[in-house]
Amino acid sequence: MIRSRPRTAAQYGAAVVAALMALTGCSSGASGPRNTSAEVTPASAPSPGPLAWSECGNDLECATLKVPQEYDEPDGTQVRLAVMRHRATDPDHRIGSLIFNPGGPGVPATETLRNLPKTAGTPGAFSSQVLARFDIIAMDPRGVGGSQAVRCLTDEQRAGAAGTAFDPAVRGGKTPPRLLADATAFTDGCVALQSKEFLASLSTDNVARDIDQVRSALDEDKITYYGLSYGTVVGPMYATLFPHRVRQMVLDAPVDTNLWFDDSLTFLNEVAVASERTLDAWFETCRTEGNAVCPFGDGDPQAAFDTLIDTLEAKPLKIAPGKGVTPGGELDGAKALEAARALAGDQNTWPLLTASLLAAQNGNGAPLHTLWASVTVSPFPVPTAMFEAHTAVRCADWQTPTGIAAHEAAATRAVAEAERIGTRAAYSALNCARWPAPNNDRVTQPLTAAGAPPALVVGGRLDPVTPHHWARTMAQTLDSAVLLTREGVGHGSYGTVPCVNAAVDAALVDGTLPADGTVCKVNKPATTRPLASAKD
């Protein structure tokens, strides 16, 4: 049964050993007051002309679309958006265009589409049926990837941030004065390298308006939409602003959009707790499977893990450069903790986590270090270019307290509720507290998508970034939606479980939704048995 609200109510798969796909997260900063008006009239811009496509890869076409930086100034400064298209493989039965957002924020959709043939079996990988019936459209959101990507740090600053200055035993990894100094350097760099006006324009409501410009340029009356993680903020925003332009919408690993716009510190706390729960699930499975399967910790993997993190922090392991794999460096406790957080977040990578921890125990830190370097975007600070865009989008959307006392209280709460991962969440919104480009006209009303077709909301039972209760909240916030739950551990479900794949394909292709409350089981039970290739 479809949940309808009254109108008056408001990857990992086999490829992971070669390259760990980023576990996307969502997070950002001090903005204008929340607008709770019941209606939103989307700012308009002149309809763009047709896109000028050029071949840019195997079965791929690329184009650039100029859109207004601010939609109430359509003739003002323009932003160049990178757009990519994969043509429907069965053009005679083509339904239309499917626009997707792979999350982050900060993950380039064009890069995701280009890599699609290599990522079968990972979250967000489209089925052959969907590829046959739709033109798949990737648009890098403004400030991301090929759409004038935000930059805030120099190469030297990025290299410094990748060092071993963080202590996992300290909330936030550093003392508050040092964290505040880092936040100042970061935000100063942002405004030195792009205008405040551009930074303020990176809000999700503008991304939704940009999508509608792409729709118009494609000459489509309606679009089909799939969003993963942060993409589940973009989708409901689009469907709220342009409900009559939505043919069908699927939201995978959904964000609580109310927390996203209203309470960044609680948002980050709940992400930390979700990550802690997936790490705890790995501990419990390792302990239950016993030494014959999971030898790490000799029956007490939790204690062994804590000891390893402390040992690595006290005496980091030297990592030799590996051509095409790692530039080398050091593996300390903080890097090992972040790598473990990412690997524990998907039960398909649990064997790799076990093997990497065993290797580090034996003095070989290369597997964990390589995996740490593969985390391009995280809910918490990581020294990558993608995280700079990630932060800028968060800060354009979020309301974050500017006073340090609120962040101190949130840090205390995070560590109390998430013993290990809470230190990663602590003070992680300081960049947004110091954000120099307030966005005073953002749309932040409840995203109900009233007037759009019923949506399919897909939530994972144990998700390291978007906890399952956020999926329930999303289904309740939307005017009309059904909730599908995937059992097991992982961030994102479509592309990984046949039961989910069938439901999502039916929704996207036929507009047919499963019964509300449907539960999909994973095909094989999770195991912590280590991969032999990585544990030596």
Which DSSP string do the residues of 460-502 spell out, in sequence order?
EEE-SSS-HHHHHHHHHHSSEEEEEEEEEE-S--TTT-HHHHH
pTM: 0.91
Residues in the chain: 536
Q: What is the pLDDT of residues 320-368, one digit of tens each?
A: 887 767 778 899 999 999 999 999 999 999 999 999 999 999 999 999 9
Are 356 and 371 in contact, with CB atoms under 8 Å apart? yes
Q: Spell 221-256 as b/e; 16+ CB within 10 A means b.
A: ebbbbbbbbbbbbbbbbbbbbbeebbbbbbbbbbbb
CB neighbours of 181 closer than 8 A, spacing ≥ 6?
A: none
- Taking residue 8's Cβ as centre, other Cβ atoms within 10 Å add up to 6
Are 458 and 494 in contact, with CB atoms under 8 Å apart? yes
Give the separation between CA 347 and CA 363, rounded to whole angstroms.
25
Are 499 and 532 in contact, with CB atoms under 8 Å apart? no
CB neighbours of 73 closer than 8 A, spacing ≥ 6?
A: none
Q: Is the pLDDT of residue 147 over 70?
A: yes
Mean pLDDT of 439-468: 95
Please report where in the chains the tokens 């550093």 appear, as a residue. 174
According to DSSP H, which parts of 263-384 are helical? 264-289, 301-314, 333-344, 350-361, 366-374
Q: Spell 456-474 as b/e; 16+ CB within 10 A means b.
A: bbbbbbbbbbbbbebbbbb
More confident of the two residues 125 and 529: 529
Phi/psi at 81 (5° precision): -105, 135
What is the Cβ-side half-sphere exposure of residue 183, based on CA atoms within 13 angstroms? Answer: 24
Q: What is the pLDDT of residues 129-145, one digit of tens each?
A: 999 999 999 999 999 99
Kind and range of the H or E run holding 214: helix 204-217
Q: Is the pLDDT of residue 30 over 80?
A: no
User: For every residue of 142-202, which 3-state class applies, written as one string?
Assistant: CCCCCCCCCCCCCHHHHHHHCCCCCCCCCCCCCCHHHHHHHHHHHHHHHHHHCCHHHHHCC
Q: Is the pLDDT of residue 533 over 60?
A: no
Q: Is the pLDDT of residue 22 over 60?
A: no
Mean pLDDT of 158-182: 86
Give the separation between CA 234 and CA 517, rounded to whole angstroms.
24
Mean pLDDT of 511-516: 98
What confidence score (pLDDT) does residue 11 get? Answer: 36
Give the separation between CA 226 and CA 468, rounded to whole angstroms.
18
Are 139 and 109 in contact, with CB atoms under 8 Å apart? yes
Give the separation between CA 181 and CA 334, rounded to whole angstroms.
20
Q: Which of 194, 247, 185 is nearest to 221 (CA)?
A: 247
Are 368 and 344 in contact, with CB atoms under 8 Å apart? no
Phi/psi at 322 (5° precision): -125, 120
Q: Is the pLDDT of residue 43 over 70?
A: no
Residue 504 in tokens: 């999502």
